[in-house]
Each structure stands twice: as C-alpha cells, then as structure tokens.
A and B are shown apart, each in its own frame.
Chain A
Amino acid sequence: MNDGVNGVALAVFIFFFLLVTAMGFMAARWRKAENEHSLDEWGLGGRSFGTWVTWFLLGGDLYTAYTFVAVPAAIYAAGAAGFFAVPYTILVYPLIFTFLPRLWSVSHKHGYVTTSDFVRGRFGSKGLSLAVALTGILATMPYIALQLVGIQAVLDVMGVGGGEDTNWFIKDLPLLIAFGVLAAYTYSSGLRAPALIAFVKDTLIYIVIAVAIIYIPIKLGGFDEIFASASEAYSQTNPATGAPRGALVPGDAGQWTYATLALGSALALFMYPHSITATLSSRSREVIRRNTTILPLYSLMLGLLALLGFMAIAAGVKVQNGQLAIPQLFENMFPAWFAGVAFAAIGIGALVPAAIMSIAAANLFTRNIYKDFIKPDATPKQETKVSKIVSLLVKVGALVFVLTMDKTVAINFQLLGGIWILQTFPALVGGLFTRWFHRWALIGGWAVGMIYGTVAAYGVASPTQKHFGGSAKEIPGIGEIGYIGLTAFVLNVAVTVVLTFVMRALKAPEGVDQTKPEDYTADAGDPGVQVELPPATAGSSTH
C-alpha cells in the first residue's frame, strides 16, 4: 500500500504535530500553582479542572486513537460484533454517576492520588493495595503500546517509514520522534499537557467525523448502498474458518458475547488508572456528575465512527491488517489535505491518552510501590521526581514492546489487560460502598479472578493464532459464549464473599479503616476538603 509518500497529507500532519508540541511545552505555565514540586501538581494538574477541561480530558482519555482505529476495524472485519463498543460506552455513564463522586470525595478528604491509595486507606492492607497497583500498571502498559500502534498505522498509510524492506531505523524513525516529543513534554508539564492538547484533538476529531459521516456516504451512494455491499461481503465464506465473515446483526449465539462484552468493558473502564487520574483532577464532585450528562456525546461520535467500518467495505478498501482500514479509507476518499487533518486527529488522539496513561501508571508506582515499600519517608519533591522518571520508563517500555514484538501481541495483552483490571473492581467499588468485605478475602478473590482470566484467555484459539485469540469463551455452567473478564469477575466476587465469611469466623484482623462514612459525600467547600490540596502527602492521616 505504500505507493509513495503523500506529501500534502504529511505536511498537514506535521503542522498539527508541531502545534500540539508547542502547546505541550507551554502547558506547564497554564494555571500554574505555587508549589510545582508536588505530585498533585504534576500528576493531577493541581486538582483544579472544571467541567469543560475535565470533559475534554476524560474524552481524550477514554476515546483513544486505538478506539478510533480498532472499533471500525472490528466492524470492517466481522460486522455487528464490533458494535458492542456503543452499548459499552452507554453503560459506563450510569456507573460513573453512581460511584465516582464517592471516590472523588474520599480522595480529596484524605489526599489519595491513586485507587491503591484509597484501597490501602480503606482496608489498611498494603498487600491489597500492592495487588491493585500492580494490576493497574500491568494493564496500562499494553494500552500505551497500542496508542503507538495507532500512530504507526497512520504513518504507514501516509507512506512514511512503512515498507517492510526499509532499514529498521528509517522505518521506525518517525515513531521515535513522535515518542521523544511526547515523553519530553509529559516530563516537563505533567497532566496539564494532555489536558491542553485534548482540546485540539477533540476539535479535529469532531470535524473529521462530521465530514466523514456526510461526505463519504454521498460519494458511496448512500447508506442503503453501503449496508447492501457490507451485507454481501459478510456473507462470503472465510476460507480460514469455513464460516461466513460476519453478520449485520448478531445471531442468537452471539448475543451473550455481545452483552457480556459490553457490560464487562463498562465495569472495567473506570478501574483503569488513567480514567481515575482524569477524574480526580476535577475541581469538585459536581464536575463529575455534570460530566456524565455531557460525556455521552463521545459515545454518539463512536457510534458514527463505527459506521466507517461498513464504508471501508463499500469503498472497496482491501487491507490485510484491519487496523489500516480506516486510515486507508480516509486516504482513498478525502482530498490529500483533509486526509492530513484526519491523520493528525488520529495521531494526536494517540498522544493524549499515552501521556495520561503513563502519568497514571507512574503515580501508582510512586505512591504504592516506591513510597509504601522502598522509601516511606520520601518528600513530595522526591515523589514527583520518581513519578516523572517512571512515566518515562513506562513509555520506553511500551515503545520497546511495539518495536520488538508483533502487533497482535500488543492487542492480545490489551485484551488481557481489560480482564485483569476488572478484577480490582470488588476492592475499589466494593470498598466505596461497604467495609463488609474482608481485606484478605479480597486478595483471594483477586488472585482467583486473575488466574482464571489469564488461563481462560490463553486457551482461546483463533484462525491466526493458537493462544489469546480472543476474549470470549464458554461460560462454565451456562454454556453460552461470554466475555472472559466478566466470568472471572463473577468468580472473583463469589470467592471474596465466601472467604469473607471464613475470615469472619476465624476472627482474622480486619485492618484499620482511615475513612469515615461522611468522607464519601464530602464536597469542595466542606470542612477538611481543600479544592487545591497542598503537597500530596498532606491528607494521609497516619503521618
């Protein structure tokens, strides 16, 4: 597909890339606070973001370049099954509405920066908090890697660095440059950089979608035409499986998978460290609830985007690697300059979440591994320093991952990451509402969920690979095919409940709960809740 470099598209892409780079570095001075050497400043943007900044930040965070490439790619590959992303994002908001304000309140009252901070404070268990932190870091790394895969796909279609026969250094140079710039401004500006760049990213994406959803169907002869040719393409037999390629509507057998994937993914989304980071950086509890009423705008956008998968089929896009379907569609349909805008939207769409994710993973490491286990007397300044360095390491790790391993490996690990992160739900959300679960029972449930999820996913074969071929498998006892993550989660909860009864009977020590019931409903302005917390350690009441 590399029929030379698309010069105009590349020039537009580079223009936007330079623009956001300048913004990234300038962001350090945006809403600057007095004490810049605290983790609250670097890692949570001073916890000062209002409704709109939070909206852009969360949107930039949850709807990543990978989402924009992968969801239509899934539709392109198999049809209806890929559309589960829409009900999934619908279900996310009632969930956020219910539990995130409580997390916001208790975190602001006690100065928690990460979910593990909360779990440790609530259950008085460093072991449980370590489990949550490790799960978070493990699940985030392949997610960052996938963002780089997204950038690579765009560069590939533009004809830079692509071809298999070029020298590896030339081939990966554009990615290395993009990566270096990202790392540099995240290091210097912290969470403020992605927050500011998210404005550009979303504006570009909204423009591109609006144009694509009107312009492409007109060129292809309307939606009737598009769905007709898609329907025909899906009915063709796939030689590798001997079954049709896909369907426009899920059949009876696919419905359990569809529903469990939607539910499981919705439950998992707000367990990811980067979603929590964006949430805790908001100014008040109200900001979060108000956001649940405007965030679904992104879901609508995602639904429209998914339709691009059908358009790629109708437009006759033929790619081996499904991830390239949408960039290729843009290249084929749009004039060169607008294709450049679309590529910039995807590329910047990768930079924003990659920055937030690496910051979130770094915060987890610093607070819950470095401070808890390595250097308990670390000063806020040292914490910030460690976080900055770890955010670099995490990104380098992701880069090595992308450059050395096959892309399907990154996607497999991302699937696993979703299964893993869901296993922290009982400790976190359970903990927000009740102290009934025993801390050791939670660790037991987590371990069972992690092991079951990993083993089950290992056993899933696909036409192209023997292991980790997908994330759906027969649910034991029900016999339907369902999302492994959700099955593991149900198992996790069952084990936790049983073990809690056992621990109670054995009178195992409960651990100290730092929090009080009223902490969970506190809002900015209430006594003890500061809008801008001073150094990150100020709230931890054990000191």
Chain B
Amino acid sequence: MVTPLRVVIALCLVAPFVAMLWVGSYAKTDPVVIGIPFFYWYQMLWVLLSTLLTMIAYKLWQRDQRARSASKGGASK
C-alpha cells in the first residue's frame, strides 16, 4: 500500500543513489574548502547527508509500523 509516508521513506533512500551516481554533477575542483577540492569534500558531505536521510527513513518507518499495528487494534501480527 502506497502512503505519503512511505513515498517519503523511499525518497530518502533513493536520494543518495541519484546524488552519487550522477558523477558529472560533482567532478570538479572548485570551490576548494580548506585546501580540499570540491570533488572530495562534496562526497564526504554526502556521507553525513545520507546518514541523516537514513535516520529520517528509520524514524518514519517506525512511525509507519506503529500506525499499522494500531490500525489492526494493537495486535502484532
């Protein structure tokens, strides 16, 4: 069953793939930050972003599960 919540979860999980596989979007040197070319710090930034997105997905998924068991009258299936 597709609910808005699950669409958001899916987007959180798909986003890193789009960002990382589109190499052309980040294959450049500038802007350089503390001496590190964009190519490198951008990908390391995505480690943090993807962690954040996975955490959001995890929280939303927990909420989704709670809602589901509640709608079944609290019975865990």
Instruction: Decide whether A and B are members of one complex.
Output: yes
- On whether the beta carbons of B77 and A248 are closer than 8 Å, the reply is no
The reply to whether A296 and B58 contact each other, CB–CB distance below 8 Å, is: no
Asked whether B27 lies within 8 Å of A255 as measured between CB atoms, the reply is yes
CB within 8 Å for A289 and B36 given contacts A93-B50, A296-B51: no
Q: Which residue of A lies closest to B10 (CB)?
A: A98
Q: Are A293 and B37 in contact (CB under 8 A)?
A: no
Question: Is there contact, CB below 8 Å, between A307 and B40?
Answer: yes
- Most chain B beta-carbon contacts within 10 A, residue among A222, A249, A255: A249
B24 at the interface (CB under 8 A from A): yes
Q: Are B20 and A296 in contact (CB under 8 A)?
A: no
- Contact residues of B between 30 and 68, Cβ < 8 Å to A: 32, 34-37, 39-40, 43-44, 46-48, 50-51, 53-55, 57-58, 61
Closest to B38 in A: A249
> Once bound together, how far apart are the Cα atoms of A471 and B39, in whole Å?
23
B50–A97 CB distance below 8 A = no
A382 to B37, CA, bound (A): 57
The yes or no answer to A259 lying at the interface (CB within 8 A) is yes
Interface status of A227 (Cβ within 8 A of chain B): yes
Determine if A94 is an interface residue (Cβ-Cβ < 8 Å): yes
A467 at the interface (CB under 8 A from B): no
Task: From known contacts A248-B37, A293-B54, A303-B40, infer whether A87 and B13 are also in contact, taking CB-CB under 8 Å.
Answer: no
> Is B44's CB under 8 angstroms from A303's CB?
yes
Which of B40, B50, B61 is the one whose CB lies under 8 Å from A289? Answer: B61
Give the Cβ gap from B44 to chain A, nearest Cβ, in Å.
4
Is the Cβ of B34 less than 8 Å from the Cβ of A94? no
Q: How far is the CA of A226 from the CA of B35 in the complex (A)?
A: 8
Q: Which residues of the other chain, A, contact B61 by a CB distance below 8 angstroms?
A: 289
Give CA–CA (A295, B14) in the complex, Å: 18
Given contacts A248-B37, A250-B27, A262-B20, contact A94 B54 (CB under 8 A): yes
Asked if residues B55 and A91 are in contact (CB atoms below 8 Å), the reply is: no
Contacts of A89 in B (CB 8 A): 47
Contact of A83 among B12, B21, B28, B40 (CB under 8 A): B40
B50 shortest CB reach to chain A, Å: 5
Known: A223-B36, A262-B20. A83 touches B47 (CB 8 A): no
Q: Indicate if the CB atoms of A225 and B35 lie closer than 8 Å.
A: yes
- Report the count of interface residues on B (CB-CB < 8 A): 35
A222, A296, A304, A526 — most chain B CB neighbours (10 Å)? A296
Write the chain B residue with the least CB distance to A518.
Answer: B77
B51 touches A262 (CB 8 A): no
Within 8 A of B (CB), among A277-301: 289-290, 292-293, 296-297, 299-300
A97 touches B40 (CB 8 A): no
User: B37 — which chain A residues lie within 8 A by C-beta?
Assistant: 227, 248-249
Residues of B within 8 A of A259 (CB): 20-23
A196 to B51, CA, bound (A): 26
Residues of B within 8 A of A377 (CB): none
Q: Is B3 an interface residue (CB 8 A)?
A: no
Number of interface residues of A (CB under 8 A): 43
* Inter-chain contact B13/A258, CB cutoff 8 Å: no
Q: Could you tell me if B28 and A86 are in contact, using CB atoms closer than 8 angstroms?
A: no
Are A223 and B34 closer than 8 Å at their CB atoms? yes
Residues of A within 8 A of B77 (CB): 518, 521
**Residue from the set B32, B37, B40, B57 with the largest chain A CB neighbour count within 10 Å:** B40
Residues of B near A300 (CB, < 8 A) are 44, 47-48
Q: A90-B16, A90-B50, A296-B51 are in contact. Are A263 and B40 (CB under 8 A)?
A: no
- Are B47 and A303 interface neighbours, CB within 8 A? yes
A165 at the interface (CB under 8 A from B): no
> What are the residues of chain B within 8 A of A80 when measuring CB–CB?
27, 39
Does A34 sit at the interface, judged by CB under 8 A? no
B28→A249 contact, CB < 8 A: yes
CB-defined contacts of B22 to chain A, threshold 8 Å: 259
Nearest CB of chain A from residue B27's CB, rounded to whole Å: 5
B35 & A249 in contact (Cβ 8 Å cutoff): no
**A contact residues around B43 at 8 Å (CB):** 83, 86-87, 90, 303
Q: Which residues of B contact A251 (CB under 8 A)?
A: 27
A227 to B55, CA, bound (A): 34
If A258-B23, A262-B20, A293-B55 touch, does A90 touch B47 (CB 8 Å cutoff)? yes
Q: Whose C-beta in chain A lies nearest to the C-beta of B28?
A: A249
Q: Name the B residues within 8 Å of A224 (CB-CB).
A: 32, 35
Q: Report 27 cross-chain contacts, Cβ distance below 8 Å, ordered by A residue.
A: A87-B20, A87-B46, A90-B20, A90-B43, A90-B47, A91-B20, A94-B12, A94-B17, A94-B50, A94-B57, A222-B34, A223-B36, A249-B29, A249-B37, A250-B39, A252-B24, A255-B23, A289-B58, A289-B61, A296-B51, A296-B54, A299-B47, A300-B44, A303-B40, A303-B44, A307-B36, A518-B77
- Please report B residues at the A interface, Cβ cutoff 8 Å: 12-14, 16-17, 20-24, 27-29, 32, 34-37, 39-40, 43-44, 46-48, 50-51, 53-55, 57-58, 61, 76-77
